[in-house]
Structure formats: structure tokens, C-alpha cells
Structure 1
Amino acid sequence: MLDNLKDTIKNLWFRNLGEEVIYINNNVVRVRAGILLIIPIYMIFTLIEVVYGSTWSVVLNTTSVDTFETDWNDHIIYQVEAIKKVFEYSFQTKLLVYILFEMLLGMSIIGARFSPTILLSSFLVLGRKPEWNPIGPKRCAWILGATFISVCIVFFNPDIVAFWINGLLGTSIPIDKNYVPSWLALNLVWICLLFMWLESILGFCVGCKIYIFLVKLGIVNRYCEVCENIDMGENFKK
């Protein structure tokens, strides 16, 4: 047990850091996906409130007054004291930035040393037989996740992003407009939640399948013998 603990601290989820093609323990990947699953779940509730929730709320302990008027549907119109809800996304942004860094840290050997979830997940699978997969397909999955996260960050902070772009490129993009539709951000979070659930619960990596398809097309790693021999079935696990 002590030897396994030392090996985990030294190699984390890597099989052998001296190999030309890096392999990682798929058990650790699945546990890590399960830990990070809580973030898209939280984002789902946030975006449902943003997209479908009311932007107005009636002030408590106030009286509604009948205006003696009706709308086009013959509904009685009442006059009330209400306030417009202002959404503040600093906490959500911090979570998204954190998970974005988690996606990026896992792509490199050095970066993995600074990932709390990789370290924690590596300890949680001690004693289980490793399932070694090449890191290339997983990188494809993490790039896909990082793309979804980046879009959501822009959705929550359109003014800041526009301000940065204007400062860097000298453009004059309006900072009072959200360029990411709310339906797009909500659907991306649903997709991200689905992909992470498939990875953590069923061990099905959608990003890996996309990577395999790109390999078969010769778009990526066309000179990597290991990647070219990746199969959609049991041969994918070494």
C-alpha cells in the first residue's frame, strides 16, 4: 500500500512518464469527471433561472391596486410595487474559470501536478486495477469541454470580454450587448453535463470517439502508430 501511495504521488494518473506515448489511468479520469460533474449541475439551475425565471419580483408587504383595466386576454390589470431582478455572476464565473483551468491542466504532464482533482482522484482509485488509455483522445475531450466553458464565460461576462477585445484590438464592440444567446449557453451546459455523466458513470468518452474519427480521417496523429490502431471496442483499452 505504501508503495502504491508513493507511486501515486510520483506519477499521479500517468503509467510511465518515460514513455514516448503517454498513457493515463482511465479510472482516475472517470472519478475526476464525477467530481467535476457538480459544476455543470449547478450551472444548469443558474441558467434555467436566467432563461425561464421571472426578471421582476413584487415587493413584500405591499398592496396591489386594481386599475379597473384589462389586457387583450381580458385579464385584470393590477398596479403593484415591483423591482427588476439584477443577475450577478461573479461566483459562477469563478467556478467556470476554475473548471477551465482544470481542463487545461490535465493536458500536460507539468500541468497535472497543479490539479487538485487529478491528485484527489488518483488517491481515490488506489487498489483498483488501472485501465490505461493514451492521453491523446482525452485531450480532445478536454478541448471540447474547454470550448463549451469558454462560451459560457463569455455569456456571463459579455461586457468584460468586449472591453478586453476592444483594448487588445482597438475595436469598438458594444459592451452593453450579450453576443451569446441564452439558449446556446443553456444547451451547451446540458451537453457538457451529458458528456461528463457518460464519462463518469458509463465510461463512455464522447470526445475520445471524436478523436478516433479524426484519426481515421487522418486529420490528427497520422504518424502515431498507437493512435492509428485505436479501436472503438475493447482494443481501445490496453
Structure 2
Amino acid sequence: MFEFFKNAWFRDPNEPVTYINEVAVRIRAGILLFIPLYMGLTLFDVVYTSSWIVDGNTAVDTYDTDWDGHIIYAVEAIKRTYDYPVQTALLFYGLFEMLAGMFVFTSRFSPTIILSTYLARKTPPVWKPLVPKRFAWTIGATLITICILFFNPDTFAVWLNNLWGSQLLSETENFIPYWIPINMVWVCIGFMWLEAILGYCVGCKVHALLVKMRILKEECHDCNNIDWDEIARKHQAKLAQAESAQAELNKKD
């Protein structure tokens, strides 16, 4: 049990280049997918549903109609107020998960890493380098941070204004347009679905592209571990097969 918690989803935490179990990573992405789904439902409720609460018992017929012939009712309505303690706590937990997975030591404190490693224990592991995943989780942490600011604009504005000593941000209006977190939620859902269901890590592909463009200076560890002998054997087998097929054709002629 001690070794299980010590190694978590790593092949060997003491390796110069850290590798993690891709199977457990996909399971973890599926577990964490509920966070952007819940945020999506919250944003849908805030942006696309009515901001008024109307008690049906207080609706009174005015016996009048509008220009389109619709009956006009007089109602008592309450303006909805929005508070996001649950959403904020969930986002902070998601941020913790993104950051915890980036390093060997902090990974041992992640409940989802422990759970996903346990669930993947009977499946043959697929080892992938940690660095591209770390880059992908950095993107996730950035998106989560923006969502936290969207749900708590006044708190951040007060803190920043006090720190700066001037009125940089409005403390009464949200300085982040609603379309930014709405689109980001769909991006998060898409990225995590691709990771969990298809095993396609968009952040890893972006990392590989940046390395190829020499913007990031990282080695391609997969390239360094190519089995050239196996490639040569396969090449010789193909040549032998081609020669055998050619010999058969010559006999028929």
C-alpha cells in the first residue's frame, strides 16, 4: 500500500524523465469532466434563463392586451441575486487537481490520481512523458482561473484595487464578458471528452507543435526511445516477403 501511494501513476518517480500511466490519465479526465459540465449548467442558468422570480399567485389579470393581442398581467417579481460559493469551491478544487498533477510530490495528494490509478490497476499501463501533460494541465489551470474571476469579480477587483492603490477595476460590474467563460466551458468539455473517450490530448499536441517550432525547448523522449533493431527486423521481413512473392511469380511464368 505504501508503494502504491508513493508511486501513484508514475512508472518510476526517480527516473530522470518522468513517465505517467496514460490509462489512469484518461480515467482521471473522465472523473474531472463533471466540473466543466456543472459550470456549463450554471452559466446556462445565469445567462439564458430569466433573472426574475415570479410568484404565480400574485399574477393579476389587468383585462388589457398589448398590440399583439396578448393578455397583460400585473405581477410581483423578485430580482434574482447570484452567489457562487459551491461553484467557487468546485473551481478551486479543479485548480488544485490541475496543479497537483504537474509534480511527483503533489500528485500523491490528489484524490482523483489515487482513484484513477486504482481503477487502472488491472489494465496494462501505457507510459507517456509527463511534460506534455503538464503543459496541457497548465492550459486547464488558466481556464479555471478565468472562471474563478468571472464568478467572483468583486472580490478580485477589491483585492487588486487595494493592492494597486487606485480604481483599476469596477467593483460593482463584472469586468469579464459572459461570452468568455461560456466559450471556455465548451472548450474544457471538448478537451476533457477527447482525453477521456478518445485518448487524444489537445494540449499535448499543442506542446509538440511548439517544440517543433522551437518555441519550447524540450526533447522528444518518445523519439529517443525508438527501437531501431525492431524497425530493421520488420524491414528485413518485408523484403523477404517481397522476394518470396517475386519468386512465386517467376515460377508461374
**Structure 1 spans left out of the alignment, 5+ residues:** 232-238
Deviations 1:4-35 (A, max 9, x none): x5542220011112211111111111011011
SS in 1 for 2:58: coil
Q: What is the CA–CA distance in structure 2 between the aligned matches of 1:229 and 1:67, rounded to whole Å?
A: 81
User: Which of 9, 16, 21 lines up with 2:5 in the alignment?
Assistant: 9
Q: CA deviation at 1:186?
A: 1.0
User: Which of 179, 183, 195 lines up with 2:191 in the alignment?
Assistant: 195
Q: What is the CA–CA distance in structure 2 between the aligned matches of 1:225 and 1:83, rounded to whole Å?
A: 59
Q: Match for 1:23: what amino acid?
A: Y
Q: Which residue of 1 aligns with 2:140?
A: 145
Q: What is the CA–CA distance in structure 2 between the aligned matches of 1:63 and 1:104, rounded to whole Å?
A: 51
Measured on the aligned residues, the alpha-carbon RMSD in Å equals 2.0
Q: What is the CA–CA distance in structure 2 between the aligned matches of 1:226 and 1:93, rounded to whole Å?
A: 38
More helix by share: 2
Q: Match for 2:73: what amino acid?
A: Y
After the TM superposition, which residues 35-50 of structure 1 pair with which residues of structure 2 at under 5 Å, given as runs? 35-50=31-46
Query: Which has the higher mean CA deviation after the structures are superposed, 57-66 or 127-136?
Result: 57-66
User: Which of 59, 82, 90 lines up with 1:87 in the alignment?
Assistant: 82
The answer (yes or no) to whether the contact 2:31–2:112 under 8 Å persists in 1 is yes
Q: Kindly indicate whether residue 65 of structure 2 is the aligned counterpart of residue 66 of structure 1.
A: no
**Structure 2 spans left out of the alignment, 5+ residues:** 227-253
The answer (yes or no) to whether the contact 2:64–2:71 under 8 Å persists in 1 is yes
Q: Which residue of 2 aligns with 1:27?
A: 23
Q: Between Structure 1 and Structure 2, whose CA radius of gyration is higher?
A: 2
Q: What is the CA–CA distance in structure 2 between the aligned matches of 1:49 and 1:119, rounded to whole Å?
A: 33
- Tell me the matched-pair count: 225
The answer (yes or no) to whether the contact 1:216–1:228 under 8 Å persists in 2 is no
Q: What is the CA–CA distance in structure 2 between the aligned matches of 1:181 and 1:67, rounded to whole Å?
A: 40
Q: CA deviation at 1:177?
A: 1.2
After the TM superposition, which residues 119-130 of structure 1 pair with which residues of structure 2 at under 5 Å, given as runs? 119-130=114-125
Deviations 1:134-160 (A, max 9, x none): 111101110111111111111100000
Q: Match for 1:187: what amino acid?
A: N
Q: CA deviation at 1:199?
A: 0.3
Q: Which residue of 1 aligns with 2:112?
A: 117
Deviations 1:157-208 (A, max 9, x none): 0000101111222231221111111121111011101100110011000000
Query: Normalising to structure 1: TM-score of the pair?
Result: 0.88
Q: Match for 2:29: what amino acid?
A: A
SS in 1 for 2:50: coil
